[in-house]
Structure 1
């Protein structure tokens, strides 16, 4: 039983003994004591007043006296209005540090027996990954790693959108204007080359629309009648019919894109356990529609189209199958959801998709529940906001998309420039420099995007993210490197050897308390699917260590070996928590920088 559990149990016992009342456990509210008051743990007394029938101050004093008598670790208490602040003896915190934080298994959470799928990335194969994909990939990867750290078995899944009219647009443009160009001949990554022809299609298509408008057609008529769009629609029909030359071209160009994506994923440091492809899943869901019709969940309209009426649920009527028997997007999502569950039998499935799809997932999950799918309650949409740059919103069709590869390259170059100005890498080998600039650049990018709650829209400034001060990835990385340098100079050799009689300063006590919260922070962040919670906790750890470092006499020069070992142990645990926590965010912390 830890001190918090002991305090809760003793508070319940106190109310029983002092006031002859049964206090429910959920009425005992503990929080950290505010920094301006003495103490470490505070009991909020207001909910207990109705049991004591006394004022908050008198109730708090009664409880304080009882707890000091019954819990040896409580040294003293003070009362501030309805708050009972408890001061815990240094010996308790030192013992906690020695027995828990110094234990090599600290924060190692046992498997919980549950399986969760995290689906993220889900790119289209007609263009490269862009800044929006970057947030998606980093968010999906870090949530998956968070859940792993919290004891889940995790399956990382990528559902690739590799078919449809947008794919045919790139294919058709390459056919018409490509002159046999390949990634090798163009010296371009395959996804960049295919994206180039998607942009070319859009430009040529707009020219045809303008011509038809000059001939008297309306905007909508011109969009429908432009020869290019008709050719693209014909190509899609040919693809669905399996016309060999169309299929061959599709395979070739998708192959280029996959090779390009692999490089981008490697640069971002994300991975997947399973790929699903829309070309294999787009016909799924028709059996689910038949099932829904049999159960009376769906209904047919006179034209033969199939719908579900969700008006009683505050939504609207939703088409699930066209009159000609072809699928709509939600049809295949119904089928794919069933296929994924059949493949893995997971307890939960998380879809990492932008907030523009909020309504779609609300409908999808509701339909699956109405169909009686037992696993539907475990489906979650991790909705996230758009990423903006100071220059404004991205538009991929106009060729002004912020390319993921270009962004990564820019981050590395910015990291190089800012690091070299500081003159701290003059003694680094060239290979070591290159690795450091990569880790700082990617660490800055990842931390900046992950420290913000997923639901929030954010403005990303590459230059602002690479700062060695403040709430940034490089600041945490630099703190880790500073600790490793300190441990190296001290010839520190971790052996989990605790110190039993060291005195603890106020900042050191803050550090022990904050570090002890690491397992709870992992659990809290995993439950909320929010890497931001963990990111900001790690910043607080790094900030507090720097306070400790600056206000403590040089540890290496400390003559008292007991104090020296204790402070080196505290530094070691801090570095370990920073390294493990940042790894969950997909960020590497350098040994030196």
Structure 2
């Protein structure tokens, strides 16, 4: 609330002859047990006033009350100045600001941000961990866009290496020419099937070699399958035409499968990078680092960086045979991304098992003097667990993303049909509703928790229409749309204003008014949880209003039109907030 901040700056200047900035003023929503709507934290001003927090608060409060016509009173509780703003202001705010389609939109900042997420391996389908990754990356990108950033959504695909060759070799040896078309399997599932086949056959060979007298370590190195896979990788790196052709064919199957999963999940990308094209990057930067004295070459020819003074350890950046390691590739890819887009910030959405890797990566880039390195950020997130026995698993260890999404739709169907409110829906409407509810439940449950926290995902709990869930918020939106449709509501103007608000009406306007701040905080924290919890509280506040205040049977036309406008603005904000989470809100349920 800029006018409160401005008045506070004037008060401190007039009362204590001190210039402060807007950054020195902390505003909070007034706690429900106290009178007022906006609270100013007084403690920072005590050093200027040289008086107690209570006396300072009373002086500043008195100044602001005289300065601003909309301020109807104030009270001071210890070091907190609670300001009451009259109903006329809030009613006008609803009609002129909150109800406008532009409310909560921000002008372009002139800053570019890349959000890199997904980063799948092309030897298996996406799983539950990928779902959290994709949803976090997509939502953070949308929230940053809403804040006025120019956002690039990037996906670095891990499409090379020994794990890819394992799937290729197993298909070659055991596949009998099977294709997605002949098997009826999605391409990523088919390739994943042969990754599992490789593992099973490899273990059989290890057991056989151990039975013949080899140690376990010897057997793992000497098993014919792993030797053949390593040979295939060497052939790939040498550009062997037959190996390259098989690699391209199987990868094309996987990409088609990924695209179908991404579409169902509702995420997209502006830019793809492929490790097959980036894995040799970074060697020139190693030379640059050697010249700058950032890296050190040892007697065997290997190149290292010593980070012990920074609380880390020594890190290999180039092997003695001249081949790069993952950190080298990542250094080179970071430079490539910057050269392509010259972004101000680059956010890596990667699980917390890679925390150390990104500390090392960012520190190396800083020591190399890359000016853009200060804009790098690792959005670290925790694992997702499931209650045992809730979901099928393809390999017994991970939950397949496609299976999970199908299960969510089925659960949504069962629970929705049990409510018996969609008998007049045609079949296409029903299927769309099951999809919207199932995906809304999944997305909301995974996004409402702060990214860093590990979470337990319970599919049935996530589709509770009365709980802290996506379907509860979706149902609230549908309820509002039903009321507006029955009323034949057309958004009004100031001519329908009322003069006095009930407390529950005022609370709802206050909740709506916080939407821009929620967007700003979500962007500052890179946290969709801020938006998710904001929109849940908004839906709860609306339902309280709906239960306590008649809308279509209001005491007079002006009151009805006002409450319809309030409802319309709430539906609009719920819709926009949920879109930032990648969630669709149905018009009816």
Q: Report deviation, 1:217.
A: 2.4
382-391 vs 217-226, which moves further: 217-226
**Matches of 1:118 and 1:168, distance apart in 2:** 29
Q: Report deviation, 1:567.
A: 0.8
Q: 1:270 aligns with which of 248, 267, 270?
A: 267
**Matches of 1:244 and 1:35, distance apart in 2:** 71
Q: Report deviation, 1:468.
A: 0.6
Question: 1:326 and 1:536, CA in 2 relative to 1: closer, same or farther beyond 3 A?
Answer: same
**Matches of 1:155 and 1:182, distance apart in 2:** 34
Q: 1:82-101 alignment to 2 at 5 Å? A: 82-101=79-98
Residue 72 of structure 1: aligned partner: 69
**Matches of 1:543 and 1:425, distance apart in 2:** 24
Q: Would you say 1:247 and 2:260 are equivalent positions?
A: no
Q: Report deviation, 1:8.
A: 1.9
Question: 1:143 and 1:24, CA in 2 relative to 1: closer, same or farther beyond 3 A?
Answer: closer
Residue 584 of structure 1: aligned partner: 580
Per-residue CA deviations over 1:282-324 (Å, capped at 9, x if unaligned) read 1111111111112111111111111111111111111111111
Per-residue CA deviations over 1:507-544 (Å, capped at 9, x if unaligned) read 11111111111111111101111000011000011000
Residue 42 of structure 1: aligned partner: 39
Q: Report deviation, 1:460.
A: 0.6
> 8 Å contact 1:11–1:28 — kept in the other structure?
no
Residue 575 of structure 1: aligned partner: 571
Q: Report deviation, 1:67.
A: 2.9
> 8 Å contact 1:334–1:364 — kept in the other structure?
yes
**Matches of 2:457 and 2:353, distance apart in 1:** 19
Question: 1:214 and 1:392, CA in 2 relative to 1: closer, same or farther beyond 3 A?
Answer: farther
Residue 502 of structure 2: aligned partner: 505
Q: Report deviation, 1:254.
A: 0.7
**Matches of 2:526 and 2:409, distance apart in 1:** 28
Residue 135 of structure 1: aligned partner: 132
Residue 219 of structure 1: aligned partner: 216
Q: Would you say 1:184 and 2:188 are equivalent positions?
A: no
Q: Report deviation, 1:236.
A: 0.4
Indicate the SS of the match to 1:381. strand
Q: Report deviation, 1:53.
A: 3.7
List runs of 5+ in structure 1 lacking aligned partners. none
Residue 229 of structure 1: aligned partner: 226
**Matches of 1:394 and 1:474, distance apart in 2:** 20
Q: 1:406 aligns with which of 383, 393, 403?
A: 403
**Matches of 1:525 and 1:421, distance apart in 2:** 36
Q: 1:336-415 alignment to 2 at 5 Å? A: 336-391=333-388, 398-415=395-412
**Matches of 2:286 and 2:210, distance apart in 1:** 41
> 8 Å contact 2:9–2:19 — kept in the other structure?
no
Q: 2:425 aligns with which of 408, 425, 428?
A: 428
Question: 1:48 and 1:292, CA in 2 relative to 1: closer, same or farther beyond 3 A?
Answer: closer
Question: 1:364 and 1:181, CA in 2 relative to 1: closer, same or farther beyond 3 A?
Answer: same
Q: 2:535 aligns with which of 520, 535, 538?
A: 538
> 8 Å contact 1:23–1:51 — kept in the other structure?
no
> 8 Å contact 2:155–2:269 — kept in the other structure?
yes
> 8 Å contact 2:302–2:318 — kept in the other structure?
yes
**Matches of 1:26 and 1:293, distance apart in 2:** 43
558-567 vs 37-46, which moves further: 37-46
> 8 Å contact 1:354–1:385 — kept in the other structure?
yes
Q: Would you say 1:8 and 2:5 are equivalent positions?
A: no
**Matches of 2:47 and 2:175, distance apart in 1:** 79
State the Cα RMSD in Å: 2.0
Q: Would you say 1:487 and 2:484 are equivalent positions?
A: yes
Q: 2:444 aligns with which of 434, 442, 447?
A: 447
Q: Would you say 1:296 and 2:316 are equivalent positions?
A: no
TM-score normalized by the length of structure 1:
0.96
Q: Report deviation, 1:457.
A: 0.7
Indicate the SS of the match to 2:371. coil
410-419 vs 314-323, which moves further: 314-323
Q: Report deviation, 1:43.
A: 2.9
> 8 Å contact 2:105–2:146 — kept in the other structure?
yes
List runs of 5+ in structure 2 lacking aligned partners. none
**Matches of 2:409 and 2:482, distance apart in 1:** 24
> 8 Å contact 1:125–1:162 — kept in the other structure?
yes
**Matches of 2:561 and 2:251, distance apart in 1:** 58
> 8 Å contact 1:450–1:531 — kept in the other structure?
yes
Question: 1:245 and 1:411, CA in 2 relative to 1: closer, same or farther beyond 3 A?
Answer: same
> 8 Å contact 1:160–1:276 — kept in the other structure?
yes
> 8 Å contact 1:466–1:474 — kept in the other structure?
yes
Q: Would you say 1:32 and 2:29 are equivalent positions?
A: yes
Q: Report deviation, 1:496.
A: 4.9
Residue 103 of structure 1: aligned partner: 100
Residue 460 of structure 1: aligned partner: 457
**Matches of 1:3 and 1:25, distance apart in 2:** 11
Q: Report deviation, 1:365.
A: 1.1
Residue 561 of structure 2: aligned partner: 565
**Matches of 1:250 and 1:496, distance apart in 2:** 63
Indicate the SS of the match to 1:402. coil
Q: Report deviation, 1:80.
A: 2.9
Q: Report deviation, 1:495.
A: 4.7
Residue 284 of structure 1: aligned partner: 281
Indicate the SS of the match to 2:141. helix
Q: Report deviation, 1:139.
A: 0.6
Q: 1:164-175 alignment to 2 at 5 Å? A: 164-175=161-172
